[in-house]
Amino acid sequence: MNQPIRSATLPSAGLFFKLASDSTIAPPPPTIAAKKKFLTFFFNWQLEIGNRMIPLPLANILHHKVPSALSALGVAIGVCMMITLSGLARGSLGEVADRWEAVDADLIIYPSNWSDNITTISGGGMSDKDAEKIKNLAIGDNTAAEYVVPIYLQRISIVGIEHNVVGVRPEDLRYLLGEGRITEGRVFDPKNACANWLKEKFSTPSEKIVDISEAELADHGGLEMIIDSRLARASGLKVGDEVYSAARNFTIVGIVPAGAMVRVFIPLATAEHLFYGGMGRYTLLMVKLREGVSIGAATEAIRRQKHLKVIAVGEYRAMLEDRFGVMYIYVDTVNTITLIVAMLFIMVTLYTMVIQRRREIAILRSMGAPRMLILKEVMGESLILTICGAAIGIALAPAAGAGIEAVKPLLTVQITTQWILIAAAAAVIGGSLAAIYPAWQAMNVDVAETLSLE
């Protein structure tokens, strides 16, 4: 019911600080009075608690829901991209480094005239003699090496993706699997019949040209392949499947857990035959030192062999990052551009909001709000948007990483606390910078002119 707006509903201004009740009306019965008292208490309580002053920046954001949500989304995308792309670049390299560092060896030896980028080298640059020398290398009265694992590295395509394949003797495979063991299937022929047969073929003087058919090689167990579980999941390959690679049909005989040195293993003799065309040639020697032999002393001793280079397994990660670190620059540049775009988006949104709210800013100024308060309000809005966006981005990053790994199972997205903090800090700093110009505009609103334009 509408009451006339007179003194009954419009108490005097003088009553502001001494609200006296009108006692000319008889008091209601106790039950009604109690109910009224309760309602009054409840209403006042609700007003005091429920209407607690909402901060103006938050009120503005809630009032401009769509542009605010879009701004926060822009930041969320930027932060999510930053965390995910960094995690992808660093995770993929880190995963390779983890796999090589998991090899049960201390040193990696390779020919001195070959590239130091041992992740990409291939071919038979080392010989039986080199392996023998390292095996017999003495430091003091004892040989330094507990064992030497010769491997043949080659890059081949399997189900459309390039992989490093390692040729390894069946008995040495366990050293390259890290903590893992064969989970499905078996290792290559433990008697190594294929290797013995190939050695015999290549050492027969009557045969000037060694001609070995695919069927012969397969019959002697030469076309066997072991893959890791990630490649198996990504490609759908399983034990018993045939896979065409290096112009041969290999049979998958075993699956090892992810974390092995490479994703694809074949018998060493097969690799030597297919990729070198002879026996006794290797790409790298993985050396496990005897207990008590220092890596430094062994490294020095090996470097005295003029035609050999050596790197400690523990240095592999640094070498990898040194070689491929340029990828980080690329990724970080993309991230920076993404964040800048997100911040420009915030700046435009805030600027638009400031332009739309010139009148309200002028009202605040007319009430004596200092410029610093206006600055704080605009900066506050930016920070709220940025923090919300960053929180959403951080929350989305693991899902984005999982999505990438689901679509491309061979990629690794490593989401780290360090990059979450970097992305959050970048967003907050960027959000603050983005607010400077709109805040400056807001601080300099002409109060009289703005309020005159009614």
Partner 1 sequence: MGDSEYILEADGLHKSFGSGQVAEHVLRGLDLRIRRGEFLAVMGPSGCGKSTLLHLLGLMSGTDEGTIVIDGLNTTGLGETGRAELRRRKIGFVFQRFNLISVLNGYDNIALSLRIRGMDTSRTGELLEAMGVKAVAHKKPSQMSIGQQQRLAVARAIAHKPDILLADEPTGSLDSENAEALLELLTRANRQDGQTIVMITHSDAVTEAAGRVVHMKDGKITNENP
Residues lying near partner 1 in the complex (CB under 8 A) are found at 4-7, 9-17, 19, 44, 47-48, 50-51, 53-54, 56, 59-60, 62-63, 359-360, 363-371, 373, 446-449, 451-452, 454
For partner 1, which is the closer residue by CB, 311 or 373? Answer: 373
CA distance 343 to 383: 11
Only one residue has tokens 């308060």, namely 373
Q: List the Cα angle 193/198/200 in 5-degree steps.
A: 95
Grouping H, G, I as helix, E, B as strand and the rest as coil, residue 33 is helix
Facing residues of 243 across strands? 250
Cα 11 to the chain's mean position, in Å?
Answer: 65
Grouping H, G, I as helix, E, B as strand and the rest as coil, residue 395 is helix
CA distance 112 to 125: 9
* Closest distance to partner 1 from the beta carbon of 454 (Å): 5
DSSP 154: E
For partner 1, which is the closer residue by CB, 162 or 454? Answer: 454
CA distance 109 to 283: 9
For partner 1, which is the closer residue by CB, 11 or 314? Answer: 11
* Closest distance to partner 1 from the beta carbon of 368 (Å): 3
Contacts of 280 (CB under 8 A, 6+ apart): 127, 128, 272
* Closest distance to partner 1 from the beta carbon of 374 (Å): 10
For partner 1, which is the closer residue by CB, 15 or 318? Answer: 15
Asked if residue 296 lies in contact with residue 314, where contact means CB atoms within 8 angstroms, the answer is no
* Closest distance to partner 1 from the beta carbon of 38 (Å): 17
DSSP 121: -
* Closest distance to partner 1 from the beta carbon of 60 (Å): 5
* Closest distance to partner 1 from the beta carbon of 231 (Å): 56
For partner 1, which is the closer residue by CB, 60 or 122? Answer: 60
Of 126, 115, 208, 204, nearest to 167 by C-alpha is: 126
* Closest distance to partner 1 from the beta carbon of 358 (Å): 12
* Closest distance to partner 1 from the beta carbon of 363 (Å): 5
Contacts of 317 (CB under 8 A, 6+ apart): 94, 97, 101
* Closest distance to partner 1 from the beta carbon of 29 (Å): 24
For partner 1, which is the closer residue by CB, 270 or 349? Answer: 349
For partner 1, which is the closer residue by CB, 47 or 329? Answer: 47
Tally helices (H) and strands (E) across the chain. Answer: 15, 14
For partner 1, which is the closer residue by CB, 51 or 213? Answer: 51
Backbone angles phi and psi of 44, in degrees to 5: -65, -45
Grouping H, G, I as helix, E, B as strand and the rest as coil, residue 188 is coil
For partner 1, which is the closer residue by CB, 26 or 54? Answer: 54
Cα 380 to the chain's mean position, in Å?
Answer: 31
Contacts of 434 (CB under 8 A, 6+ apart): 343, 344, 346, 347, 350, 382
Cα 427 to the chain's mean position, in Å?
Answer: 18
